[in-house]
Structure 1
Amino acid sequence: FATATRLPGRVHVDVYAMVNFLATIGAIRLIHYTLEDVYRHVLGKEKPDFEMGGIARAWEKGGEELKRLLEYSLSDAQATLELGQVFLPLFRELTKLVGQTLFDVTRMTPGQLVEWLLVREAFGWGELVPPRPKREELDERMEETYVGAYVMEPKRGLHENLVAFDFRSLYPSIIVSHNIDPSTLNCDCCGPEEATVVPELGYRFCRKRKGFVPSILERLIERRAELKKELKRLKPGTPEYLELDSRQMALKIVSNSFYGMFGYAGARWYSKECAESITSLGRHYIHQTIARAEREGMEVVYADTDGLYCKMGEKSRGEILRFLEEVNRELPGVMELELEGFYPRGVFITKKRYALIDEEGRLIVKGLEFVRRDWAAVAKRTQQEVLDAILREGSPKKAAEVIKRVVRELQQGRVDLQDLVIYTQLKMPIESYRAIGPHVVAAKKLRQKGYPVEPGAMIAYVEVKGPGSISDRATPVEDFDPERMEYDANYYIEHQVLPAVMRIMEVLGYREEDLRSPGGEQTKLGRFF
């Protein structure tokens, strides 16, 4: 807020701040958050690009280069306007919901939205708004810790015939169903048999008097359910549909942020007891569901926070739906276990790292390298092809052949330059870096040639053969000359391609030496029997 530009008589809406907010809540997930990438992802359109180092030259030279620069600058403004028009309805609904200005709401965190909603509602409920913590109290709160969600160590490897379940809005539904609120904690009106007793912790929550926070949250959940019913009666894409969809999304964003508000040390309604009670109850219900699924003959291969993946075995889809009904019959309040979907195959590596293919042929990838921004395209593309071979065709052998082919192409110098470029953002002034990584060295080389290099710049570089460390050999893509330079194939094999795929291939019984050699084969012990 302190650095935001304020314009008298105008509301300054920052599209970058909107994108940052949507990325924070997981509504947009990209490798790079450049204007070009967001524009392509959200609207499916392309816009002209222009080399950072050529701007000054084009301005001085004029002619066609200046015309191209002006077209690029105009496209920046046009793309920003179009993205703003897409995002504005959602933020307008958030503004109406929490009762703050559009300028402020577009720059808030999800937790701040919750807090301002509660401040707005407090007067009508006769609630006293708690003060913000002072420095000493804030420091004490920040030292407090508690156990979070349950994440099961997956059964590593390739699995087939999977079904996934997840709890609908697990933490919000726990808050409402168990009346989690600072004012209902360890109340005097309920005895031990009457109150909700939190597993592992022993905290008690009142069942006779509804708390302020769960009352507000319940109203949001109910209103969103009503809107979703209305949406089913409307034609997607119509103005009325888009307006209601923005409204239900605003309700979802705020509802899902209540738990985080309880656990944030700077929040007015901060309560460690409430936050850890929510996660304790979450662990209780996911453990309960895992045990029940296994009693029913399903094999649980992975579980994380509010969902689980099971091998169906001999069970029919009808039996899966009956299992779901039985679980939901016993859940309290507004809690509900939902069927997320059926998956023909999935490969599970470690906690938070897995990939599946759904019945429509779409890949769902969590925690694997090709979503990171500091990997060259050759590594991302290879990992994508490996996952396609494993999940679409069920063929680890074909995945190994893909890797060997890419290794050969790198060794033979047959990989295009654009597939070798590594992009890393400069997060501070060059002089502030103590650890001098490859992107910092590349940035220094750019500055020496007169290019403007500032914090926030995306540095694009290639690793070339030659003396010195990996950092020393980082060459800005603008300086790469194929006539006198050669990319370092060994670097791309050992530090890009193999690291991007080995986590996947290891759980399938392959070793690095099997994949470096064109003739290498899987050498798992079982091959010898």
Structure 2
Amino acid sequence: MFVEKTGYIVSRHTRDVSGHIEMSLFIKTPEGTVKVLPDRQLSVFFTDAPLDSLPADITGVQCSESALKSFNNEPVVLVQSTSLMLHQQMINLVKRNGFSVFEEDIKAHNRYLMERNIRGAVRFIGVPDSSNQTFRQARVIAGDWQPDWNVWSLDIETSVSTNTLLSIGITSRDQRVAFVVTNQETSSPIIRRFSDEKSLLLAFIRYVKKHSPDIFIGWNLIGFDLQFIDQRCQILGIRPAFGANGENWNIRSSDNQGKYFASIPGRVALDGITLLKVGGYHFESYSLNNVSNEILDDGKLLHGSERWQEIERLHKEDLGAFVAYNLQDCDLVMRIFEKLKLIELQQTRVDLTGIPFEQTGGSVAAFENLYLPRLHSAGWVAPAWSDDDFVASPGGFVMSSIPGLYKNVLVFDFKSLYPSIIRTFHVDPLARIAAQHSASLVQDKLSVTQLVPGFLGASFDRQQAILPSLVGELAQAREEAKKVGNGILSYAIKIIMNSFYGVLGSNVCRFYHAELASSITMRGHELLGRTQVWMEERGARVIYGDTDSLFVTLNSEQEDPQKQGERLRDDINACLSNWCKEYAQLDSHLELEFERVYERFFMPTIRGQEEGSKKRYAGKSNGELVFKGLEAARTDWTPLARQFQRTLFEKVFSDENPICYIQETIAKLRAGDYDDQLVYSKQLSRPLSSYTKNKPPHVRAAAMIDQKRAEQGLPLEYNKGRKRVYYLYQRSGVVPYESPENLIDLDYEHYIEKQIEPIADSILPFFKTNMASLLSQQISLL
């Protein structure tokens, strides 16, 4: 008997069971999470092999003519298989015979959902089993039910010296508990004691099954916590039954990037660091302690490079303090997620694009989910993966700056420049192919007027473009989200629209072609260049331009800069609209915005040269200091250098002579007043062992730490890379910074030469001096 329900897809999976495809959708319903098995599923791909060249007598494989055609404008054959094994065997057969395959890598569950326009919310009917946990012969359509997620913040503590699990902490809306391996007695209701790891893990698996969380959150959750739990389960012979209804999870790593992925039936694992980056947040350090201090004004109970010793001591001697430390980390993560609405952001991305809930990246997947159904409706299949060499498109427009110290600099930028170019100039994979085919078939003037010129020889058929209307729909949805104050939806749409250029310019996307990305960036170059000309015709002077922005000074100081900027913006938008009509009878979706006025502005030269720099400036707008690319905005400069630059420009922008401040800073530095601000920090970009030829200071410092740990028989700290290193300069050279005891015998002259002098010399020419003169004056005074 069929039963109808509403729900939201938590996870999706496909596998072969008894020689047939089993597609399972784990769906959260108002009654709980269930397993839904859609009826009679097949794997699909297309090929340009003639139908009569394909086997017709293989049980479980069906080949048939298709109404679709390839980007070569040739008909394609549809190949359907009842198992993943047959699917792969047919792909291999077609390739061996020298033919192409199309869309062969799209997973069956993704195709099923994509073609039905299903994103997250669903309605389904199916036949339930006796426990109402599994629904078979199901049919699924898009729905509108919104779940109330059961979110668990998870954090583990481990022994560095024995590489074993000490505890698992969990906090949620109604759970606060720590599973701990310990022999200490306790009456605390939140502590669950176990004599060994195996007992702890088995109990935790039972606990997860009983309380059924939907979403695990944490900090480096998959790459550390879940990976470590999985590793211990394997070593101890425990089945990792952490999925819904006791299904196994799968924790895997990428082969070459050191990243980990978690597939958990009926559950989702979301990492806080990754979601912060998706959400556009930037921090000097993404450590939990740093982020929680910035976001919550609260932090970890223990931190620092030697905290592992204290953790192990507390585990042995003070169980209450140990558990408090474990659960504090859980609490911090939960509070960060709630304050920044990170789960809402991820769910909104799912609702907009249909990417799997656990896929925090996925620009290519999001693009294909939106594009492929429209492409199929237009009668085409996606192109085969190309073996052609990758050709990078030109980057964004960046003009050499006119260095100087300015008053009243106006900043203009194009609103969503690259999406607007796609929309205005019909830049689109299908439109490019359709233009090629129409140009080869018909040469009359009428057909040519249907095409929009691109770059690198490309043209785009304005009648067969998909992306312009898709961008238009998203842009309209974003404006509506802004009107009702839905910031998360507005930002999620912005992420999606801005990703289209990157996807088309990336060879990890099947639609990549150099003509596509270049027709976006080179059009951007042209538009910025034309805008500069139009502005200068109106008496403005463009002192810098970058990607979608122009920095402008005006000749007239009598009129209010705000009014001048608004008038110039309106004039340029009219020019853009007129030019698009004249160029190719196009409706302009380009919009120049007047962003701000910098009352004071500084554009430096390239260090040691007279030429103006790029992507580096400082300004003051409405009392706010803004630094771009300068030392004050760079995490690899010392705290002293960064604060020195901020204070320096506060004085310069207030028309104060900074020379006394510079001299005072040098004197205090040499007197030891700034010792605690002289620690460098820099991220290792790859494993320590891969630095063989060039070993910069932070690498040498990290090597010293790992050598010391190896001598103590401890696991290495930097062997996997992607970890921040703290170091400083003593007179003997670079040394790692591990505690305040390292702040001895510091090389002050190094810090003057490398940290203070470059910053000061960028501004001192405006005061008719330089650091060499100031230092020589101090030496003579001494």
Task: Give the TM-score range, shorter chain.
Answer: 0.7 to 0.9
What is aligned with 1:362? 624
Describe the shift of the 1:508–1:263 C-alpha distance in structure 2 as closer, same or farther (beyond 3 A).
farther
How far did 1:71 drift? 3.6
- The one-character-per-residue Cα deviations of 1:452-475 (angstroms, maximum 9, x if unpaired) are 542344332231123xxx34xx14
Structure 1 residue 378 corresponds to structure 2 residue 378 = no
Describe the shift of the 1:321–1:415 C-alpha distance in structure 2 as closer, same or farther (beyond 3 A).
closer
Describe the shift of the 1:93–1:443 C-alpha distance in structure 2 as closer, same or farther (beyond 3 A).
same
Structure 1 residue 158 corresponds to structure 2 residue 405 = yes
What is aligned with 2:680? 422
- The one-character-per-residue Cα deviations of 1:264-310 (angstroms, maximum 9, x if unpaired) are 11212212112111122211211111111111111111111211111
What is aligned with 2:512? 270
**Using the alignment, how far apart are the partners of 2:261 and 2:766 within structure 1?**
48
SS in 1 for 2:484: helix
**Using the alignment, how far apart are the partners of 2:421 and 2:685 within structure 1?**
39
Structure 1 residue 118 corresponds to structure 2 residue 367 = no
Contact kept, 8 Å, 1:98 with 1:120, in 2: the verdict is no
What is aligned with 2:666? 407
- Alignment RMSD (CA, Å): 2.8
TM normalised by structure 2 equals 0.57
- 1:160-239 pair list within 5 angstroms: 160-185=407-432, 186=435, 187-188=438-439, 190-192=446-448, 195-198=451-454, 201=456, 203-207=458-462, 209-231=463-485
- 1:64-463 pair list within 5 angstroms: 70-85=323-338, 86-104=341-359, 106=360, 108-133=361-386, 136-137=387-388, 140=389, 142=390, 144-185=391-432, 186=435, 187-188=438-439, 190-192=446-448, 195-198=451-454, 201=456, 203-207=458-462, 209-231=463-485, 244-314=486-556, 315-316=559-560, 317-330=562-575, 331=577, 332-349=587-604, 350-359=613-622, 361-391=623-653, 393-395=654-656, 397-398=657-658, 400-417=659-676, 419-434=677-692, 435-447=694-706, 448=708, 450=712, 453-455=716-718, 456-463=722-729
- Where do 5+ consecutive residues of structure 2 fail to align? 1-251, 254-259, 578-586, 605-612
**Using the alignment, how far apart are the partners of 1:481 and 1:357 within structure 2?**
37
Higher relative contact order (CA 8 A, sep 6+): 1
**Greater mean deviation of Cα atoms: 292-301 or 10-19:** 10-19
What is aligned with 1:19? 276
**Using the alignment, how far apart are the partners of 2:376 and 2:297 within structure 1?**
45
Give, as a single letter, the amino acid of the residue that structure 2 aligns with 1:154. Answer: S
SS in 2 for 1:265: coil
**Using the alignment, how far apart are the partners of 2:372 and 2:630 within structure 1?**
40
SS in 2 for 1:256: helix
- The one-character-per-residue Cα deviations of 1:117-147 (angstroms, maximum 9, x if unpaired) are 32354445544233433xx33xx1x1x2443
- Where do 5+ consecutive residues of structure 1 fail to align? 232-243, 521-529
Contact kept, 8 Å, 2:273 with 2:286, in 1: the verdict is no
**Using the alignment, how far apart are the partners of 1:505 and 1:307 within structure 2?**
28
Describe the shift of the 1:333–1:5 C-alpha distance in structure 2 as closer, same or farther (beyond 3 A).
same
**Using the alignment, how far apart are the partners of 1:156 and 1:87 within structure 2?**
41
Contact kept, 8 Å, 1:380 with 1:500, in 2: the verdict is no
Describe the shift of the 1:345–1:287 C-alpha distance in structure 2 as closer, same or farther (beyond 3 A).
same
**Using the alignment, how far apart are the partners of 2:769 and 2:278 within structure 1?**
40
Contact kept, 8 Å, 1:58 with 1:66, in 2: the verdict is no
What is aligned with 2:306? 53
Contact kept, 8 Å, 2:616 with 2:629, in 1: the verdict is yes
How far did 1:221 drift? 1.0
**Greater mean deviation of Cα atoms: 378-387 or 421-430:** 421-430
Structure 1 residue 464 corresponds to structure 2 residue 727 = no
Describe the shift of the 1:481–1:152 C-alpha distance in structure 2 as closer, same or farther (beyond 3 A).
closer
- The one-character-per-residue Cα deviations of 1:187-216 (angstroms, maximum 9, x if unpaired) are 447544553334x75543334x14012221
**Using the alignment, how far apart are the partners of 2:498 and 2:419 within structure 1?**
6
Give, as a single letter, the amino acid of the residue that structure 2 aligns with 1:195. Answer: L
SS in 2 for 1:269: coil
Describe the shift of the 1:163–1:119 C-alpha distance in structure 2 as closer, same or farther (beyond 3 A).
same
Larger proportion of strand: 2
Give identity over the alignment, percent.
27
**Using the alignment, how far apart are the partners of 1:226 and 1:298 within structure 2?**
34
- The one-character-per-residue Cα deviations of 1:123-177 (angstroms, maximum 9, x if unpaired) are 45544233433xx33xx1x1x2443322111110111012111111111001101
What is aligned with 1:490? 749
SS in 2 for 1:12: strand
**Using the alignment, how far apart are the partners of 2:726 and 2:471 within structure 1?**
46
**Using the alignment, how far apart are the partners of 2:746 and 2:507 within structure 1?**
49
Contact kept, 8 Å, 2:305 with 2:738, in 1: the verdict is no
Describe the shift of the 1:503–1:130 C-alpha distance in structure 2 as closer, same or farther (beyond 3 A).
farther
- The one-character-per-residue Cα deviations of 1:73-117 (angstroms, maximum 9, x if unpaired) are 32221122222332111110101111122112x1x2434432333
**Greater mean deviation of Cα atoms: 56-65 or 276-285:** 56-65
How far did 1:61 drift? 6.1
SS in 2 for 1:9: coil
What is aligned with 2:220? none
What is aligned with 1:525? none
Describe the shift of the 1:28–1:54 C-alpha distance in structure 2 as closer, same or farther (beyond 3 A).
closer
TM normalised by structure 1 equals 0.83
SS in 1 for 2:367: helix
What is aligned with 2:266? 9
Contact kept, 8 Å, 2:392 with 2:505, in 1: the verdict is no
Describe the shift of the 1:96–1:476 C-alpha distance in structure 2 as closer, same or farther (beyond 3 A).
same
Larger proportion of helix: 1
Contact kept, 8 Å, 2:600 with 2:619, in 1: the verdict is yes
Contact kept, 8 Å, 2:288 with 2:300, in 1: the verdict is no
